[in-house]
Structure 1
Amino acid sequence: MAIRDAPVVDWTGRFDDLAAQEAILGADELDELGQAAWFTGRDEVSRRAWERAHLRHLDDGNLAAAVRCVFWLGFTLSEQGEEVLARSWMGRLFDLCARPEADARTEVFQELCGAVARYAQGDPEGSVPLYRQAADSAAAARDTDVEALATMGLGRSLVHLGRPEEGFVCLDRVMLMIGSGRVSDRAAGPAFCAVVASLLARGDLERARVWTRDLGDWCDTQRGLEPFRGECTLHRATVMQLGGEWGAATKAVEQVCRTEKRTETLGNAWYRAAELHRVAGRAARARDAFREAAALGREVQPGLALMHRDGGELDTAWSGLTRARATALGPAERAEVLAAAVRVALDRGRLTEARAASEELAACAVAFDTPCLRAQAAQASGEIALREGRPAEALPLLRAAWLDWRRLDAPHPAALVRIAIGSAARAAGDEEGAQLEFDAARAVLEGLGAVPDLARLERLATTAHREASDPGLSRREREVLELVAKGWSNRRIAERLFLSERTVARHVGSILSKLDVPSRSAATAYAFGHGLVGIG
């Protein structure tokens, strides 16, 4: 059964019903109350219910059920950052599993906890056989929840060890288990989020797009859901930004910024908001969002460096990227830092530094071999070859990057590659081909509202060689252009300047003609690119 066809679970209603009878609930009902409280964000109630449930199960002689309650209590405490309490409850789990009446049903939890502990201690290689054993034992015991969590952990460890093909097979298996309805909701939520986060961190955007859609469908079937809603929304926003749905992504991320309680998720949400503002040229809002992310402990590179690049502050951009490169990062995040380092180094005229970053990026792409990492590496190599005066070598690299971005349905990076392809065509003497590439990129960037990139394109593509300080605009036309660049409508401009809308429309038409651009967004980009208005 597809996840989107699964029945809706009303966790809010279930919690209300059970909480009203908490004093007389039996062990199974207390366990269910703990789960309903967890799903609806009532952490204290959840802890209390699971503590009571495990004691009641012990009184009833049901050790396996008691161990299950203790496992989920420790797991949720760990998720909430309560590591001391989590370790205490995991110690309780091992004590229970040492009892004479323990059997295969309790052993699977003990094995899973041992694997998780080994991974948390920084030993992913040592965790692999433990996760395999836990998954096999859980399958034999017909405990699909533990099997899914152990398989998820195994996949994550294998990817961490540089064995992505084996790891991604495990992660796919977990997603198929959830989709088939074999995994309970309490295990499906954390498994879903961990798998999607792992895929995004490793740059496997193809799988991430598929499983993020299913994660969203699963969240939509869980009424009252709290623990995973923010992370789910943030994962979806990341995929939406890649696909060019910037408005929807911004709306989704801002919702997370308003409602999320977890520090890590909130920091990631502010960073994603900053990036969405940056690519749209909203520098002031981007700067504020980067500040919020940094205050929460989130790394703000490479986004902040790219914003400095947009403002022409190349040395500041390079300093930030240099610091970020010295930090241990996941493959996808490190690839983004390296790709930004190549662009900034080229802008600074530092070919040696650009080549060093490009070589490291290429090694990352070879290790993980995803279309996203391949595209970034090929694009960087192509841009360096172009800057070194080798357009014939640059073109096939840039074409390969464009094909991978197109395969990922990623219009923004694909458009940026087409700008580089146009530059390579121009360097090879094909000005007509160059302008065709520039036009194709311009159409995409205008549709997205990518103002800083449009500004760079207009600086590069213009053949009129018009003096930036004298584009032929009158004083009034400059005033109108300033407001057009802020995204104001003709009506709003008319009210501000005490003109009629017809007069403003005439000024806008004259501006487009004098700047030789086809649209308001192109005029905005020209204005930013030629210093007629400030980005901010």
Structure 2
Amino acid sequence: MPTGGVRSAADGSPVATDWAARLRELHESGVSTGDGLEELGTAAWFLGRMDECERAWTAAYDIYVKSGQTDAAIRCAFWVGYMLEESGAAVKAHAWMSRVMDLCQRRSEEGEVGAAATAALCQAQAAWSAGRVAEAVEVGERARSLARDAGSSDIEVFATMGLARALVRAGSFERGFELMDALMLSIADGGVGERVAGPAYCAVIASCLERWDIGRASAWTRDLNDWCDAQRGLQIFRGECSVHRATVLGIGGEWTEAERVLADVASRERRPATLENALYELAELHRRAGRTHAADDGFRKAAALGREVQPGLGRLRRDAGRLATARAGVARALAAAPPPGRRADLLAAQVEFETEGGELEVAAAADEELRQLAETIGTTYLTALADRTSGTLLLAQGHPERAQPVLRRAWTGWRDLEDPYDGALTRILLARTARALGDEDAAQLEFDAARTTLAGLGALADLARLERLAASAPAAAAAAGLSRRELEVLRLIATGSSNRDIAGRLFLSERTVARHVSNILAKLGLASRSAATAYAFEHGLLEAA
């Protein structure tokens, strides 16, 4: 089998390998040696023919063991175990990895450093799978060092990949991503074997997206696509590669292409871990486009596979007027202690929902946690997300003058990331801020800019929300059934005034003010004065009548 680096053309791009043609050649030649069967298994693996791959590599392993080629047997057994683990056959994978450990123990006793490196790698992978991140870092460091000493390039790549992933999960972002960048450059330079390149790409990009490092994810996804395109007939990485690519496309506003890619994955993918993510991302695109039935169906299918479908499902429910359901769903998902990347998205949604529902203390706690998370991780995406949620909270708390610079900073982040959707959502908030400050001209300019972007994307659900918010304040009040006097009372509630204060301002009795407050809450379907305050800011009811 090929054990050297990925071949590169003169321009640095990968040289194409036709794995289907190579498999035919190997079948026609009637290979019977260990090396020949191992290469046949590799070709079958690239083509997604896992049963044939397992048969070929098992036969190669038997030949290596019988002929005393222990190092080759270790290598082959490791790949069988890896392939089975990735295919979801955990029991068989564990049995093969036990074989690897037994062979490694024997060779380590003979002083073979490469076998010790492989054993350490298997231990590090087991620690990672079991969630023992600190152990995965410690053993991964040892595996990487041993592999380097032994000159075992493939094992060093796997160890570096696992170590970097564990470092990022442990919070050592700078060193983790330094290792990932070096690994990606090594693949681009042809220093990584063909069989190792795909898993390395996928692991690195998954870590980037988990941390919302969109710049790195975009760069390495482009390289991964080039590498996949060079492997003619490739199937094994198409699912993961495509979901990563669709995520990056979606952030960049290329929703039509992202939807096409995800629909293709959803129609042919069989691995649950990949399929559930494709279904969720596809449902999110349906939700944004206003296709509520397709979105609901997609979220249900993803949930059936075990995927957490918040906050997407919550936003779908919120758009349908079921805010209480949305709030409960996000709170339940946060209680399950998701990883940092998903937690950030959930916290942002919680701020959205709780400010709409008037529970500003809950929203403030979520905002603070998201801010700390963004400062710890330090990516542009999370910083912009935290700024947007802070602006949302400040607006609901009645501080539009403080919200404005924070939201402007968030919009700058989205612009730098070339993320039009999140930028448009932020401009809606800027419009609400301008309106609360009494500048209706600026509000309409921001609404117009957001409207143009959302219409271009086909974000019908968000366009509907925008149009409700962009309506003039008197019209919004009338639509809610508020009288002019009730509107005056609502505006004073939003300033934090007590019933006594309001009575003094409007020359009314406290009993009359209490009746107005009760009527306002009933007409708006709200439960508290803080909820009424949030409603007033969201619907632009604070400027003079």
Tell me which interval the TM-score lies in, with the shorter structure as reference length: 0.7 to 0.9
Q: CA deviation at 1:225?
A: 1.3
After superposition, where does 1:29-44 map in structure 2 within 5 Å? Answer: 29-44=36-51
CA deviation profile, 1:11-59 (whole Å, cap 9, x unmatched):
111122223445x421111110111111111111111111111221233
1:403 paired to 2:412: yes
Structure 2 SS opposite 1:429 = coil
Deviations 1:99-150 (A, max 9, x none): 3556223222112112112222322112223212221222222222211111
Q: 1:89 and 1:330 mapped to 2: Cα distance?
A: 30
Does structure 1 residue 310 correspond to structure 2 residue 315? no
User: Is this contact kept in 2: 1:203–1:331, CA < 8 A?
Assistant: no
Out of 80, 83, 108, the position equivalent to 2:90 is: 83
Assess if the C-alpha contact under 8 Å between 2:12 and 2:188 holds in 1.
no
Task: Give the aligned residue type for 2:378.
Answer: D
Residue aligning to 2:238: 229
How far, CA to CA, are the matches of 1:196 and 1:467 in structure 2?
46
Partner of 2:309: 300
**Distance in 2 of aligned mates of 1:145 and 1:253:** 31
The CA distance in 2 between the partners of 1:358 and 1:76, in whole Å, is 42
Q: What does residue 483 of structure 1 align with?
A: none
Residue 466 of structure 1: how far off its partner (Å): 5.0
Corresponding position: 1:53 with 2:60? yes
Shift of 1:286: 0.7
Q: Helix, strand or coil: the match of 1:178?
A: helix
Identity of aligned residues (%): 48
What is the CA distance between 1:248 and its match in structure 2?
A: 0.6
How many positions carry a matched residue from both structures?
470
Amino acid at match of 1:350: E
Q: Distance in 2 between matches of 1:286 and 1:166?
A: 39
Evaluate the alpha carbon distance shift between residue 467 and residue 347 of structure 1 in structure 2; reply closer, same or farther with a 3 A threshold: closer
SS of corresponding position for 1:244:
coil
d(CA) in 2 for partners of 1:26, 1:218: 29
Deviation at 1:176, TM superposition (A): 1.1
- 2:532 counterpart residue number: none
Q: Distance in 2 between matches of 1:204 and 1:238?
A: 12
- Letter of the 1:376 counterpart: L
Asked if structure 1 preserves the Cα contact closer than 8 Å seen for 2:14 and 2:226, the reply is no
Write the distance in 2 (CA, Å) between the matches of 1:188 and 1:297.
Answer: 29
1:464 positional shift: 8.0
Query: Per the alignment, in what secondary structure is the counterpart of residue 98 of structure 1?
Result: helix
Partner Cα distance (2:80, 2:225) in 1: 25
Please identify, of 300-309 and 160-169, the stretch whose mean Cα deviation from structure 2 is larger.
160-169
Residue 186 (structure 2) aligns with: 177
Do the aligned residues in 2 keep the contact of 1:202 with 1:330 (CA within 8 Å)?
no
CA contact (8 A) 2:354 2:360 kept: yes
1:14 matched to 2:14? The reply is: no
Whether 1:250 aligns to 2:259 is yes
Which blocks of at least 5 consecutive residues in structure 1 are unaligned?
A: 471-529, 531-536
Q: CA deviation at 1:235?
A: 0.6
Residue 203 of structure 1 aligns with which residue? 212
CA contact (8 A) 1:402 1:414 kept: yes
1:437 maps to 2:454 = no
Q: Secondary structure at the match of 1:99?
A: helix
Q: Match for 2:17: what amino acid?
A: V
Per chain length, whose mean CA-contact separation is higher, i.e. which structure has more relative contact order (CA < 8 Å, sep 6+)? Answer: 2
> What is the Cα deviation at residue 385 of structure 1?
0.7
Q: Summarize the alignment of residues 75-474 of structure 1 with structure 2, pairs less than 5 Å apart.
A: 75-99=82-106, 101=110, 103-463=112-472, 466=475
What is the TM-score normalised by the length of structure 1? 0.84
Q: Matches of 2:152 and 2:448 in 1, distance apart?
A: 57
Structure 2: gaps spanning 5 or more residues: 1-7, 480-538, 540-545
Amino acid at match of 2:379: T
CA shift, 1:328, in A, is 2.3
User: What secondary structure does 2:106 align onto?
Assistant: coil
1:236 Cα offset (Å)? 0.4
Alignment TM-score, normalising by the size of structure 2 = 0.83
Distance 2:389 2:105 in 1: 56
Q: CA RMSD in A?
A: 1.9
Answer whether contact 1:4 1:221 (CA < 8 A) is retained: no
The alignment partner of 2:449 has SS state of: helix
Contact 1:158–1:167 under 8 Å retained in 2 = yes
